[in-house]
Amino acid sequence: MDDKNFKENYILVNLEGVRIEQPSQKPIILLREHNGDRFLPIWVGNFEASSIVLEMVNFKFPRPMTHDLIINIFDVFKIKVKRIVISKIIKDTFFAFLDLKKDDEDNITIDLRPSDAIAIAVRLKSPIYVAENVLKKAGLKITSIEEEVKKFRDFLNHASPEDFNI
């Protein structure tokens, strides 16, 4: 898909953070439409949520974790992450892919879970896109979230690995 058609069908989003849903205590990645008011919540596992949050607060383990290993492999083979894309939702399961580029070769697309894609994007500061039809189907319009986001960011600024039972 060329970039013009891509931008017509996919929406740039920002990672707002990771929250814990009540009362289930399940982690949720919260994406927000860039320059918009739609949010996309994606439920994820504890490990993936921890990986994202710890990177957001710049915590580094002494040895590479799985997502760091993937990035190290990309570096060795001079592969660039162009963007990550949450491409579809089927029966409440989100699908994503990495859009990769190596030198002058054609783009390489790799299927993976959205949580892993976002964990990679957060480390590389890669853009995150969501298919418009996914935002229409699973997105939420939340107008009074700004205060909650501020509280969550305050929490992230003071979070430590102990807060995540690591």
Residue 106: per-residue pLDDT: 83
pTM of the model: 0.81
Print the domain residue range for 84: 3-164
Write the CATH number for 54: 3.10.690.10
Where the chain has pLDDT below 50, the residues are none
How many domains are contained in the chain? 1
If you write DSSP's letter for every residue of the chain in order, what string do you get?
A: --HHHHHHHEEEEEEEEEEE-TTT--EEEEEEETTSSEEEEEE--HHHHHHHHHHHTT---SS--HHHHHHHHHHHTTEEEEEEEEEEEETTEEEEEEEEEETTSPPEEEEE-HHHHHHHHHHHT--EEEEHHHHHHH-EE-SS-HHHHHHHHHHHHT--GGGGT-
Question: Measuring CA to CA, which residue among 133, 49, 134 is closest to residue 93?
Answer: 134
Residue 11: per-residue pLDDT: 96
In which residue are the tokens 């320059």 written? 35
Residue 21: per-residue pLDDT: 86
pLDDT tens-digit readout, 96-138: 999 999 988 888 999 999 999 999 999 999 999 999 999 999 9
**Residue 109, token pair as written in the block:** 């697309």
